[in-house]
Amino acid sequence: MGRLLPRQPAAPCPAAGRSRPLISFAVFLAAAASLAAAEPAPPAAADRQPAPPGQAAAADPDDAARKAELLASSRWRRAMFEFNAWLDAQPVYGPAEVRRIRAELADRIATMSSFDLEYLLETLDAKVKVLESPEARDARSWLGRYLSVMSDSKRADVLRDVPDILDMSTTELEEAIAKVEAKRTAVEQQRAATIAGRQQIGGFLAAAREGEAAERASQAAIRSGPVFSPYRAPPVGDAPFSDAYDSPTVVGVGPWGTFLGIPIGAF
């Protein structure tokens, strides 16, 4: 019986030793890929929402400090004081519209950067200069009187297409003032023509009254004088047609113009 030889341990394979680091690196890549798939992808540039202007301005401390300096300046306070004084005096916007304009202006200011606020300040200065000019003051005074005699429905119809003062440029303001001046000229010319027509009718009526008075005086003189009749021996007595009453011509103004009325009793 032959001798059993002891089993010799197998020598390690060089290729198997080199494969272990490769397997570990492959496992690391698989884990990293799974983690990347689990994290949400950042939104695309087209899907990103822009930050509000106020938030962008607040994120810049230098811009916020510059904005605060502008809001505290005497120039800003003067511009706002004059603009609010104009809002209180103007006859175009009602109380509700004035409140809306002020609230909208405050909202715009809150979300503006310092550079936008500076541009708004320059715009307000230019608008106030136009609104407080002598021509604008005269137009505003006349427009207030013109609108005050209108009914609420008529006034609302006239002011239906009035633009927002916050969105108007200085050129548009000047054009609006020129339109008010043109309307004022047209209304005053129409009023002058109406007055002239009434004066003409009044003169005609005065002349008719004077003629009527002269006729009455003539008739009274005839009746008070001596009466002669070739068919009667004196004293004749009453004058002919002494029982007839005066029926003067009537002159008046009706819905179709001036008319001349002659009573039937005159015949």
pLDDT tens for 64-108 read: 999 999 999 999 999 999 999 999 999 999 899 999 999 999 999
**Residues above pLDDT 70, as percent of the chain:** 61
On the CB side of 187, how many CA atoms lie within 13 Å of its CA? 12
According to the model, what pLDDT value does residue 202 have? 82
CB 103, CB 164: distance < 8 Å? no
pLDDT at 45 over 60: no
Asked whether 209 and 197 are in contact (CB, 8 A), the reply is no
* pLDDT at position 155: 84
pLDDT at 255: 66
Say yes or no to pLDDT of 266 above 60: no
- Pick the residue with more confidence: 231 or 126? 126
Question: Do 67 and 117 meet the contact criterion of CB atoms below 8 Å apart?
Answer: yes
Q: Is the pLDDT of residue 256 over 80?
A: no
Q: Which of 13-22, 209-218, 235-244, 258-267 has the lowest mean pLDDT?
A: 13-22
Contact of 110 with 177, CB cutoff 8 Å = no
Which residues touch 221 (CB under 8 Å, ≥6 apart)? none
Q: What is the Cα–Cα distance from 33 to 41, expressed in whole angstroms?
A: 13
Q: Map the chain to HEC letters.
A: CCCCCCCCCCCCCHHHHHHHHHHHHHHHHHHHHHHHHHCCCCCCCCCCCCCCHHHHHHHCHHHHHHHHHHHCCHHHHHHHHHHHHHHHHCCCCCHHHHHHHHHHHHHHHHCCCHHHHHHHHHHHHHHHHHHCCHHHHHHHHHHHHHHHCCCHHHHHHHCCCCCCCCCCCHHHHHHHHHHHHHHHHHHHHHHHHHHHHHHHHHHHHHHHHHHHHHHHHHHHHHHHCCCCCCCCCCCCCCCCCCCCCCCCCEEEEECCEEEEECCHHHC
Residues 6+ apart with CB under 8 A from 123: 170
Q: Kindly report which listed range (41-45, 100-104, 111-115) carries the lowest average pLDDT score.
A: 41-45
Rg (C-alpha) for the chain, rounded Å, is 50
Query: Which residue type occupies 237?
Result: G
Chain-wide mean pLDDT for the chain? 75
More reliable by pLDDT, 56 or 225: 225
Other beta carbons within 10 angstroms of residue 177's beta carbon come to: 20
Residue pair 227/220 in contact (Cβ under 8 Å)? The answer is: no
Hey, what amino acid is at 82? E
Would you say 174 and 132 are in contact if contact means Cβ atoms under 8 Å apart? no
Maximum CA extent, the chain? 211
pLDDT at 215: 79
